[in-house]
Structure 1
Amino acid sequence: MTGVRALTADEMRKLRLARMAAVEAMPYFGRALFALVPVAAPGLGTFAVDKSARVYIDPAMLGDQWSIPHAGAVLLHEVGHVLRDHFSRAEAVDVSVVRKAWNWAGDAEINDDLIAAGLSLPGDPVTPTGLGCADGLAAETYYHHLMPPGTPRDAYDDGGDGSGGGGDAGEGGCGSGSGDSAPAWELPADADLGSGRGLDSAAVELVRTAVARAVQDAARRGAAGRGTVPAGIASWAEAQLKPAKVRWETLLRAAVRTCVTEQAGQVHHSYRRANRRAPKGLLLPSLRAPRIAVDLIIDTSASMGQRDVDEALGQTRAVLRQSSVSTVRVTCCDAAATTPRRVQSIRDVQIVGGGGTDLRVGIDAALAARPAADVLVLFTDGGTPYPARRLPVPMVVALIGDHAIDTTPSWAKTIRVDPPAAGERVAA
């Protein structure tokens, strides 16, 4: 590459032709195609997109090495990375994601729909079939197929510069917008070479929503461009327009925090300490806030797998950090309960059990402890009987695992502990 610059007038003319070809093929992607901020990247050998929806164009590919229809198809490919949020999903799929494997997985998720729409991609594009997978799956599924447990990180030579050498759509890197490593030549988000600055995350989200609505409108009409809307794009649009799922960790922390705050707010009058504002010679009581005790009851029955128990311990750590809590105790419970044990950190928690499931004995033990529990937090996969009557203190139940059975009473606050599905939108 010789550096990033603004497109010349002739290059912009060719780009407009490629964009027109793309809009003709997939008119419902028009909003996204026109939202991309184009810049020239001579010598790149392909197109690429960054996380700010800036598209890097090698001018040599516009009508010279690629035909205009091929260039339009590659524009749609890059738009696909932006619409499907491959940048953020790469961060979520694996804390040490192998970028090249993720780039291929994202390419496969996009390209099967482009091919289904009748588009021809230049070179030898990455497809699900080429990866040994079925069409219509999420990038996360393709990634885990490429990177099963135990696969060395250097299996895909992850040290490349993301330039996408070879000029094939879907080969090599597609830029940081695809979840690939950001190459050194990518521009800062606020850089402007004459075609505008990159888009912020809110603007990109508005584009996604507008495109999703256009896709659904096209699907309802029964025709779009050269054919019907590909199934993968229709599914993406449906998911995009659903309310974003709030992470269960956020819900659990909020539920516990609310219960603790409500209990801490139950102040009472006490003569143990005189009221500093009392008139001279008059003894008035002062207000005292209760010292809150939170009891964590962990289901250690045989139905709870090690992963479930580890999840419970991880959330125990989060509760231990709650403010306004003077006492935190842990009770391990299957068909019997251990004595509630006060803990200061996750290292103090000792897991015992492995029998049947009856968390009522753990609840009784927590309520009988001194000081008595003010808030109960249960970590379980369900299938346990619960007290027949509302408890005198708030109870939060964290249902863990895909197999969790929800039989919690209506007066308890229930949080389902389950990871978002592949590609599912998650609220920030």
Structure 2
Amino acid sequence: MSATARSLVGGTANAPSEPLDLEKLYAARLYAARVRPYLATALFALHLVESRQVPTMAVDRYWRCYASPAFVARTPVDQLAGVWVHEVSHLLRDHHGRGDRLAREIGLEGPAARLRMNIAADCEINDDVYGEDLTCPTGAIRPEMLQLPEGLLMEEYVRRYRSHPGHLEAAWLECGSGADGLDRPWDLGPDGGHGLTAQERDAVRFRVAEGIRGRPGTAPAGWKRWAEEAFHPPQPWRQLLGAAVRSAVSGAGAGEDYSYGRPARRSAGVPGALLPSLRRRPPRVSVIIDTSGSVSDDELGSALLEVAAIGRAVGGRRDQVTVVPCNAAAQAVHRLCRAEGIPLIGGGGTDLRTGFHAALRGHPRPDVVVVLTDGQTPWPSAAPACRTVVGLFPRPIRYSEHRAEYRPSAPPQWARVVTIG
């Protein structure tokens, strides 16, 4: 631990001459819990760490709260209560995790981009967290200061905000790695003391969400929305489909040869003998694409994107991926070289049973079958001898394939189904 940061539980041998005013800070936290009782669990889950590097107060992703003695000394208790609520809101709303995902999604890099995320996260919190006996701290950033509307999420504010923050109070642009995901010099990191585990952090969020949902009349609209979505977040279908495929290809059955490059663990039980370990090979994946007339060109384009993503999911071994275009009958089985070079020829009716037959009769047999379809097809009567993932293009609850009484059967129970779109 650095000389400028010390845990308030254990302390250090060389304590600074002007210690943190714990009584004042704890009084502010108690006041915050009284006026925002639904946040009390989260407020008291934070572990205080004194730091002279922090301009005001900041949090890390492990639920440590770093506080500047000078800032605490000059700030009234009612405003400190507002800071407590502000900092814990960053953690409850997972701004560090969302910031990491957003940075990957739209290509944001460097401290300037993370500062923009911190500003956007502050706007998401501050538009409705204050008032009702909770004082807004001096210099807190609100959306109207940036000529932005209220009620948006951090991701929306990031996309809308482009100005340089030089006109804003610099101290309020430092809420720590818990606000934007960028590690700070004062962070104690994952190996530091008194951090919460991932399970403990989820437990705190769950208790706060349940408290808000149990008494919905006491929380602002932003917190109600958070409580509803905290453990049922809307997830993009592409991420869900990718997760389903990765789960399938990482299953058992992908080891077929032995290697002495890495000795088996059971060698320890046979002194003097070196036993080979089972070497995992890249899994073989067969993708069946529905090319019937009921599947649009846009959906076929999405299917090709998924084929390319599956090639990446198996470690770039495209020779392990085959594609079977299928309508009423299966077309030729194609090895994956470039997804855009696969001919998706079809039209007419649908019978993906022929696609399953073509995929499974190949040699060697696939470990995973991925089906991209609108579901308007008969399915095999028995589960294939491998895992099956179905990417389902959504359709309204009315069907007509030449017969008014026709109703397609739902995907079978033995398939992992993800709705696309």
Name the structure 2 match of 1:150: none
Name the structure 1 match of 2:287: 296
Name the structure 2 match of 1:140: 155
Which residue, 62, 77, 80 being the options, matches 1:68?
A: 77
Q: Distance in 1 between matches of 2:241 and 2:346?
A: 27
Residue 90 of structure 1 and its aligned partner are, at CA, apart by 1.6
Name the structure 2 match of 1:210: 207
Q: Distance in 2 between matches of 1:18 and 1:216?
A: 25
Which residue, 381, 390, 398 being the options, matches 1:398?
A: 390
Q: Distance in 2 between matches of 1:34 and 1:388?
A: 54
Q: Is the 8 A contact 1:340 1:366 kept in 2?
A: no
Name the structure 2 match of 1:312: 307
Aligned to 2:372, what secondary structure does the other structure show? Answer: strand
Unpaired runs of 5+ residues, structure 2, are: 9-17, 257-282, 398-407
Which residues in structure 2 correspond to 1:23-34 (within 5 Å)?
23-34=33-44
Residue 127 of structure 1 and its aligned partner are, at CA, apart by 2.8
Q: Is the 8 A contact 1:174 1:180 kept in 2?
A: no
Paired residues in the alignment total 354
Which residue, 39, 45, 54 being the options, matches 1:44?
A: 54
Which residues in structure 2 correspond to 1:351-390 (within 5 Å)?
351-353=342-344, 356=347, 358-360=349-351, 363-364=353-354, 367-368=357-358, 371=362, 376-380=369-373, 382=374, 385-387=376-378, 390=381
> Is 1:239 matched up with 2:229?
yes
Q: Distance in 1 between matches of 2:382 and 2:316?
A: 25
Name the structure 1 match of 2:273: none
- Map Cα deviations across residues 214-250 of structure 1 (whole Å, 9 max, x no partner): 333443xx4xxxxx21121122223335599894433
Unpaired runs of 5+ residues, structure 1, are: 148-154, 223-227, 265-291, 420-428
AA in 2 matched with 1:141: E
Q: Greater relative contact order (Cα 8 A, min sep 6): structure 1 or 2? A: 1
| Aligned residues: CA RMSD | 4.1
Q: Distance in 1 between matches of 2:20 and 2:176?
A: 25
User: How has the CA–CA distance of structure 1 residues 334 and 125 changed in structure 2, closer, same or farther, with 3 Å as cutoff?
Assistant: farther
Residue 79 of structure 1 and its aligned partner are, at CA, apart by 0.4
Which residues in structure 2 correspond to 1:160-239 (within 5 Å)?
166-167=170-171, 171-191=172-192, 197-219=194-216, 222=217, 228-239=218-229
User: How has the CA–CA distance of structure 1 residues 116 and 405 changed in structure 2, closer, same or farther, with 3 Å as cutoff?
Assistant: farther
AA in 1 matched with 2:391: L
TM-score, normalised by the number of residues in structure 1: 0.68
Q: Is the 8 A contact 2:304 2:339 kept in 1?
A: no
Q: Distance in 2 between matches of 1:357 and 1:102?
A: 49
Identity of matched residues, %: 30
Q: Distance in 2 between matches of 1:92 and 1:51?
A: 14
User: How has the CA–CA distance of structure 1 residues 305 and 296 changed in structure 2, closer, same or farther, with 3 Å as cutoff?
Assistant: closer
Q: Distance in 2 between matches of 1:211 and 1:133?
A: 29
Aligned to 1:70, what secondary structure does the other structure show? Answer: helix
AA in 2 matched with 1:398: V
Which residue, 112, 118, 122 being the options, matches 1:107?
A: 122
Q: Distance in 2 between matches of 1:357 and 1:391?
A: 25
Q: Distance in 2 between matches of 1:327 and 1:183?
A: 43
User: How has the CA–CA distance of structure 1 residues 416 and 137 changed in structure 2, closer, same or farther, with 3 Å as cutoff?
Assistant: farther
Q: Is the 8 A contact 1:295 1:366 kept in 2?
A: no
User: How has the CA–CA distance of structure 1 residues 326 and 308 changed in structure 2, closer, same or farther, with 3 Å as cutoff?
Assistant: closer
Name the structure 2 match of 1:332: 325
Q: Is the 8 A contact 2:241 2:391 kept in 1?
A: no
TM-score, normalised by the number of residues in structure 2: 0.69
Residue 139 of structure 1 and its aligned partner are, at CA, apart by 2.0
